[in-house]
Amino acid sequence: MTRPLELRDLEEQQLVERIATFRKEIFGLRFQQATGELENTAALRTTRRDLARAVTVARERGIDVDGIR
């Protein structure tokens, strides 16, 4: 779990990279879940929440995060 204070301490570019990483992780976890390979089902929920925290911090700073993949 990523703490909001950790995200707030990141530079703008690091925050954008973290958002991209979270989105890639979610894609991989969803793929594993669909194929029945996902053992830790809580990881998907935790990663989605981490992504939401990071996006919230980015939007507070006025960073456009819609185009980040």
Q: How confident is the model at residue 67 (pLDDT cuts 50, 70, 90)?
A: confident
Banded model confidence at residue 22, pLDDT cuts 50, 70, 90: very high
**Domain of residue 7, residue span:** 1-34
Contact 65, 20 (CB under 8 A): no
Q: What is the pLDDT of residue 1?
A: 81
CA distance 20 to 68: 6
Within-domain flag for 57: no
For the chain, the domain total comes to 1
CB count in 10 Å sphere of residue 67: 6
Cα separation, 22 vs 8, in Å, equals 16
Q: Let me know if residue 60 belongs to a domain.
A: no
In a domain, residue 20? The reply is yes
- Tell me the pLDDT band of 6, cut-offs 50, 70 and 90: very high
Residue 63 maps to a domain: no
- Of 40, 42, 67, 43, residue with least CA distance to 55: 67
pTM summary value = 0.90
